[in-house]
Amino acid sequence: MQDTGKNIIIAGVGGQGILLFSNLLSKFYMKLGYELKISDVIGLGQRGGGVESHFRYSNKPVLSPFIKAGDVDFVISFEQTETLRYLHSLKEDGVVFSSTYELTSTSVNARLEKPMAECKTEMIKRSENKTFIIDPEEHKSPDFNISKMMNVVMLGYYAEFRGYSHDDMIQVVKDNVPAKFIEGNLKAYEKGAAIARAELATKESVSSNC
């Protein structure tokens, strides 16, 4: 086992399936025999509040349920305002996966706070970390509702990036998603893996040009 473990922050807003994402990931890493600790921080209200999941897997028992700022390997975020909240906690070689979806904060809607002046996607891209941006508008499909299934799109994306067995990950999805949603979720998963394949090919060619 070469990978001794990673610290992941999964972020977004209520209703985006963050807890399902971290649940699927936990099943996958458990099968690989890792120790896990997953801590969910959920704000007030049934919908629309910020949700963050601190996901840690390791070949040794995990101590702190919260990941210290500076120790995060991956930020996986389904909402780009939330992405910005966690950028500072990444390691130098940490990687960001972020959807461009945005749910305007209540405080901005109510004019208690000003909207951020700069384009958030650009701010994320400009960070010193390696970033992968997924625009749900760009990848809309008649086969599944991407706004509902961005979590599983991201799971496919992440699995491709990590070089994991898609068969194993898809099995985890099949085992843990209600039967009537499996078909749509598998389409979403494949989409995510396909986007990642295309993106990784360009990134690699870009870096080889430098």
Partner 1 sequence: METGNDIASMQMMNGNEAVARGAFEAGVKVAAGYPGTPSTEVMEYTHQRYSDIYCEWATNEKVAVEVAIGASFAGYRSLALMKTVGLHVAADALGGAAGSQINGGLVLVVSDDVGRLAGDDYNDCRHYGNMFNIPVLEPSDSQDAKDLMVKAFEISEEYSTPVILKTTSVTCKTTSPVKIDENYTYEAKCRDKYPVSFSKVIMTTMMMKAKGSEHPKLTKCFNDFPAHMKRLAEDSNDAGFNKLELNGKKIGVITAGTPYYYAKEVLPEASFLKLGLVMPLPERKIRELAEHVDELYVIEDGHDVIEKNIKDLGISVIGKELWPKFPVMTRFTPDIIEEKLVPDAPKRTPQEGVPFRLPVSCAGCSHLFVSNVLKKHKIKAAADVTCGLIGCFPHMESYSLQKCMGSSISLAHGYNLAKENKENFVAMIGDGGFWATGINGLMNLIYNNGQSTVIIVDNNCLAMTGGQNVASSEFGFNYKPENKLEIAKVCEAVGVKDITTVDPYDIGSLEEAIVNAVNAKTNSVVIVQKPCVTKFKLPKDTPSYIDQEQCVQCRKCINVGCLAIESKKAKDGSVKIVINEDICTGCRLCSTVCHKEAIKN
Question: Binding residues for partner 1, per CB under 8 A?
Answer: 13, 26, 30, 33, 35-50, 62-66, 68-70, 81, 84-85, 87-89, 102-116, 119, 123, 147-148
Q: Which of 127, 98, 86 is nearest to 199 (CA)?
A: 98
For residue 75, the minimal CB distance to partner 1 (Å) is 12
Q: Which of 67, 155, 150 is nearest to 102 (CA)?
A: 150
For residue 65, the minimal CB distance to partner 1 (Å) is 4
For residue 204, the minimal CB distance to partner 1 (Å) is 29
For partner 1, the closer of residues 173 and 193 by Cβ is: 173
Q: Which of 163, 79, 75, 78 is nearest to 127 (CA)?
A: 75
The distance between the two most distant Cα atoms of the chain, rounded to a whole number of Å, is 51
For partner 1, the closer of residues 69 and 201 by Cβ is: 69
> Can you spell out the DSSP letters for 12-57?
EETTS-HHHHHHHHHHHHHHTT-EEEEEEEE-SSSSSSEEEEEEEE
Which H or E element spans position 58? strand 50-58
For partner 1, the closer of residues 112 and 210 by Cβ is: 112
Could you give the CA distance from residue 210 to residue 147 in angstroms, rounded to a whole number? 36
For residue 69, the minimal CB distance to partner 1 (Å) is 4
Could you give the CA distance from residue 19 to residue 86 in angstroms, rounded to a whole number? 17
For partner 1, the closer of residues 139 and 148 by Cβ is: 148
For partner 1, the closer of residues 61 and 163 by Cβ is: 61
For residue 113, the minimal CB distance to partner 1 (Å) is 4
